[in-house]
């Protein structure tokens, strides 16, 4: 058995040797000449000169040995559809989709925006982009039209791929009105929207730019589209994520580094092998979906299970029955899903044959101890917490069981992953923290392969946001607080910025505030995250109204709260809807007018806000305290 410590040290001391070896996991059409180009920090370029293709590595390469093995198992408890695609069938579908996209003008280096529910065509579309060398930008189906329009304008796609509708919890969500509104709002709307008609929305919007996929798929049913060999550092995709400002950042990723990093993670972190079946219950709109529903399992020659639905419909045993039915070996989800399942009848879990399952992986938000203990006892299998971000694309902290099965410590996602020079630093001096001291989690230059290359179209923002926030040191900031113990285990202590995490979904409080501000009655608003037993965090909004009397009586306040929630649904999407809207006469601010967010969040959670900078009017704090107390009563 390898020693974790030596393995990690080698990856940091001799990254070129380490990653040259790992690079042999994928096919290179042309070998690279330089493993790592450090000539322009903080930018790093991996496997320079090498030419490869993500789709080739995920699909074509397996045809010789596993053409008849399932590549994709699809289950929708919303529509009742279950289907399976072998690697040969996946190859055919991806070729058809690539041919259709090409016929609509998609070329290498151009963007394709994918706004789709969890359907197999989403996988085909992403892989088809990779095949053509086009850059996909998947936008989570829960985002509303203005958010979609903002992403269209940033990515400037030549094509959008969408569907008539999504479905969640038995409710159909029409997509075409959203797409239509986004198309008219956007400055850079593409000419065409390729539409997958699931026949769920009989009254779908009929606009001239919609092109139905099905007849084109028929037309190109025998198409063979060659893979574009891309230089390792050409972009593979853009994925927008939230930060401190209201404007989402387009995280841009490369081709070769991403393929190598994911393939290596499959062995060292996930212990997944070719022929295994992996079920990642996430969404293609998030990074976990990109990396561990689609690319990593397919790169490794595994079967991936894609699921549309909730974990409790038709009942709370559905996921466990899928494990039994498809002999699932690896499962990956967010702690919120486990907290939801914990409330279900335990007999549902015990009724299923879970003998195929080896490990459950959890990521995206803190894993609390009661949830961790409950699920590891109930399953009797290892539960592996892992910590990472959209920006990194694959785990930064984990027990790397494929390297060395170090013991777990409840409350910690584990130790730094190979490749990451992870250091906790003092927020004021930038110096490394002493053991046990709280600091900002940072990564030393260079980021390992697979991490973000830059912010799409904005190198300056990439440098300024991520590499210049720790004083005196050019290191990558995760914007997470942590603390490290003597054995190297890190515990996450929350974000340093205004990002919150609701049910494993990353949201910017500024984005929610912007949505709320557009409501005609709202003068000012502050949104903060507070602890929530089920979702990890919940968003609370504190609103100052233009007319203070508008919410004077409880009935009026209730109506106003509902109409503010509806504004958020329309502008950002229901995922951003605050759990509560409190009306106050003023918000606590410093004398220079800066909102005291941390103080608001502390008060909202019932804590003492601690030492405060000079505050403009201390009674504002009292109002927050009262608003929360009154509503709780």
Residues 563-582 that bind ligand PRX (CB under 6 A): none
Closest separation in Å from C-beta 495 to ligand PRX: 5
Residue among 165 and 502 whose Cβ is closer to ligand PRX:
502
State CA 18 to chain mean position distance: 27
- As a whole number of angstroms, the distance between CA 293 and CA 231 comes to 24
Segment interacting with ligand PRX (CB under 6 A) among 176-184, 342-350, 360-368, 513-521 = 360-368
Number of H helices, E strands in the chain: 21, 32
- As a whole number of angstroms, the distance between CA 201 and CA 459 comes to 41
> Residues 233, 277, 386, 408: which binds ligand PRX (CB under 6 A)?
386
Closest separation in Å from C-beta 280 to ligand PRX: 11
Closest separation in Å from C-beta 287 to ligand PRX: 5
> Residues 22, 180, 276, 365: which binds ligand PRX (CB under 6 A)?
365
Query: Which residue lies nearest ligand PRX, judged by its C-beta?
Result: 390
Contacts of 283 (CB under 8 A, 6+ apart): 118, 140, 141, 289
> Which residues sit opposite 443 in a β-bridge?
422, 476
Sign of CA dihedral 24, 28, 34, 39: negative
Contact string (CB under 6 A) for ligand PRX, positions 465-494, x = contact: -------------x-x-----------x--
Sign of CA dihedral 281, 286, 292, 295: positive
Interaction of residue 529 with ligand PRX, rule CB under 6 A: no
By the 8 A CB rule, do 125 and 112 touch?
yes
Q: Give the residue among 607, 604, 610 at the shortest CA–CA distance from 630.
A: 604
Three-state SS annotation for 305-329: EEEECCCCCCCCCHHHHHHHHHCCC
> Residues 57, 501, 537, 567: which binds ligand PRX (CB under 6 A)?
501
Q: Report the first-to-last Cα separation within the chain, whole angstroms.
A: 57
Closest separation in Å from C-beta 403 to ligand PRX: 18
Phi-psi bin for 168: left (phi > 0), alpha (psi -120 to 50), beta? Answer: beta
Residue among 183 and 447 whose Cβ is closer to ligand PRX:
447
- As a whole number of angstroms, the distance between CA 446 and CA 454 comes to 13
Segment interacting with ligand PRX (CB under 6 A) among 25-33, 217-225, 383-391, 421-429 = 383-391
Helices (H), 156-209: 176-185
Segment interacting with ligand PRX (CB under 6 A) among 163-171, 280-288, 351-359, 460-468 = 280-288
Query: Quick one: DSSP state of residue 143?
Result: -
Closest separation in Å from C-beta 291 to ligand PRX: 8
Closest separation in Å from C-beta 305 to ligand PRX: 18
Residues 231-270 that bind ligand PRX (CB under 6 A): 241
Task: Give how many residues touch ligand PRX by CB under 6 A.
Answer: 21
Contact string (CB under 6 A) for ligand PRX, positions 192-231, x = contact: ----------------------------------------
By the 8 A CB rule, do 101 and 146 touch?
no
* Contact positions vs ligand PRX (CB under 6 A): 241, 286-288, 363-366, 385-390, 413, 478, 480, 492, 495, 501, 506
């Amino acid at each position: 058995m390898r020693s974790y410590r030596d393995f990690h040290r080698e990856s940091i001391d001799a990254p070129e040797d380490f990653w040259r070896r790992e690079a042999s996991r994928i096919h290179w059409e042309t070998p690279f000449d330089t493993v790592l180009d450090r000539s322009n920090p903080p930018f790093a370029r991996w496997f320079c000169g090498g030419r490869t293709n993500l789709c080739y590595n995920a699909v074509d390469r397996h045809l010789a040995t596993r053409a008849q093995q399932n590549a994709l198992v699809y289950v929708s408890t919303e529509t009742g559809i279950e289907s399976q695609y072998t690697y040969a069938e996946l190859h055919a579908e991806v070729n058809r989709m690539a041919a259709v996209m090409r016929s609509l003008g998609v070329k290498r280096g151009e963007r394709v925006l994918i706004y789709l529910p969890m359907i197999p065509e989403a996988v085909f579309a992403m892989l088809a982009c990779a095949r053509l060398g086009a850059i996909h930008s998947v936008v989570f189906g829960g985002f509303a039209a203005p958010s979609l329009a903002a992403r269209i304008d940033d990515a400037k796609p030549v094509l959008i791929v969408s569907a008539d509708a999504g479905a969640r919890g038995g409710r159909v969500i029409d997509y075409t009105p959203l797409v239509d509104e986004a198309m008219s709002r956007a400055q850079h709307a593409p000419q065409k929207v390729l539409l997958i008609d699931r026949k769920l929305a009989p009254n779908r919007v009929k606009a001239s730019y919609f092109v139905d996929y099905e007849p084109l798929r028929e037309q190109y049913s025998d198409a063979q589209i060659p893979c574009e060999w891309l230089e390792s550092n050409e972009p593979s995709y853009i994925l927008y994520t939230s930060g401190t400002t209201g404007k989402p950042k387009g995280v841009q990723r490369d081709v070769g580094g991403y393929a190598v990093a994911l393939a290596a993670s499959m062995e060292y972190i996930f212990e997944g092998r070719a022929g295994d079946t992996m079920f990642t219950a996430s969404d293609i709109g998030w990074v976990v979906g990109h990396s561990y529903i689609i690319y990593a399992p397919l790169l490794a020659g595994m079967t991936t299970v894609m699921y549309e639905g909730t974990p409790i419909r038709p009942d709370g045993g559905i996921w466990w029955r899928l494990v039994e039915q498809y002999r699932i070996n690896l499962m990956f989800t967010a702690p919120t899903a486990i907290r939801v399942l914990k409330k279900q009848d335990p007999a549902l879990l015990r009724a299923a044959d879970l003998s195929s399952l080896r490990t459950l992986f959890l990521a995206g938000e803190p894993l609390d101890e009661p949830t961790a203990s409950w699920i590891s006892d109930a399953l009797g299998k290892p539960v592996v917490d892992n910590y990472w971000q959209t920006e990194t694309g694959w785990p930064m902290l984990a027990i790397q069981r494929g390297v060395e099965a170090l013991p777990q410590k409840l409350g910690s996602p584990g130790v730094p992953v190979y490749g990451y020079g992870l250091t906790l630093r003092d927020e004021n001096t930038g110096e490394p923290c002493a053991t046990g001291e709280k600091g900002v989690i940072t990564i030393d230059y260079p980021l390992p392969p697979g991490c973000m290359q830059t912010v799409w179209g904005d190198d300056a923002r990439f440098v300024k946001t991520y590499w210049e926030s720790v004083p005196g040191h050019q290191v990558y900031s995760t914007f997470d607080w942590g603390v490290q113990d003597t054995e190297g285990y890190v515990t996450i202590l929350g974000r340093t910025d205004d990002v919150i995490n609701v049910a494993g979904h990353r949201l910017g409080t500024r984005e929610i505030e912007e949505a709320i501000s557009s409501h005609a009655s709202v003068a000012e608003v502050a949104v903060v995250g507070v602890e929530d037993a089920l979702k990890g965090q919940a968003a609370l909004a504190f609103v100052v109204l233009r007319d203070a009397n508008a919410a004077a009586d409880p009935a009026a306040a209730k109506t106003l709260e509902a109409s503010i929630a509806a504004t958020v649904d329309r502008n950002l999407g229901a995922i951003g809807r605050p759990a509560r809207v409190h009306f106050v006469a003023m918000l606590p601010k410093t004398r220079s007018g800066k909102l005291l967010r941390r103080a608001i969040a502390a008060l909202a959670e019932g804590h003492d806000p601690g030492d405060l900078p000079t505050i403009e009017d201390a009674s504002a704090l009292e109002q927050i305290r009262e608003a929360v107390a009154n509503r709780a009563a």
